[in-house]
């Protein structure tokens, strides 16, 4: 068979993930830039909460892009992309869009990566917590 049945992230799904992430950001008191991309790294939804850093807009989008494209959390690159490590220099790939610190997570449904979420404006750990809250809004398989 040449075609595979696949799951697709819809705009409604992206909005639900975004809303859950925003709720967590409010809960922890850190306004965030939150981006949701599809499996190809194309922006589906974005929100800049009041007070979120303007400089974090591109970072959030690029964290989502990295997570979707690499099919792993951006935090996983922190150690392996350091000088002398196997992935050193990867952060300059993809026209500099590849993010190597926490806050980007792949969106996985039925074992298939259907997109990514990227959060930025807090610490890498806060960004990751908010991104995870967005993923937790997905129905359990």
The residue ranges of every structural domain in the chain are: 11-135
> The pTM is what?
0.92
∠ CA(109), CA(90), CA(87), 5° rounding?
90
- The pLDDT of 102-115, averaged and rounded, is 95
Which string of b and e fits 103-116 if b means at least 16 CB within 10 Å? bbbbbbbeeebbbb
Are 105 and 73 spatial neighbours (Cβ–Cβ below 8 Å)?
yes
- Measure the CA–CA gap between 113 and 120, rounded to whole angstroms: 21
Write the pLDDT tens digit of every residue in 49-72.
999 999 999 999 999 999 999 999
At residue 6 the predicted structure's pLDDT band, cuts being 50, 70 and 90, is: confident
- The arrangement of secondary structure in 11-135, i.e. its CATH architecture, is 2-Layer Sandwich (3.30)
How many H helices and E strands in the chain? 5, 4
């Amino acid at each position: 068979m040449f075609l595979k049945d696949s799951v697709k992230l819809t705009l409604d799904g992206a909005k639900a993930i975004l809303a859950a992430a925003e709720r967590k950001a409010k809960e922890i008191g850190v306004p965030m830039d939150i981006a949701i991309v599809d499996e190809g790294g194309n922006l589906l939804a974005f929100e800049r909460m009041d007070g979120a850093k303007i400089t974090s807009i591109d970072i959030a989008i690029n964290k989502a892009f990295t997570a979707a494209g690499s099919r792993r959390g951006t935090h996983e690159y922190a150690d392996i992309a350091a000088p002398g490590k196997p992935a050193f220099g990867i952060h300059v790939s993809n026209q500099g869009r590849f993010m190597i610190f926490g806050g980007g997570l792949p969106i996985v449904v039925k074992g298939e990566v259907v997109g990514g979420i990227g959060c930025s404006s807090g610490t890498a750990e806060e960004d990751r917590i908010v991104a995870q809250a967005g993923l937790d809004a997905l129905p359990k398989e």
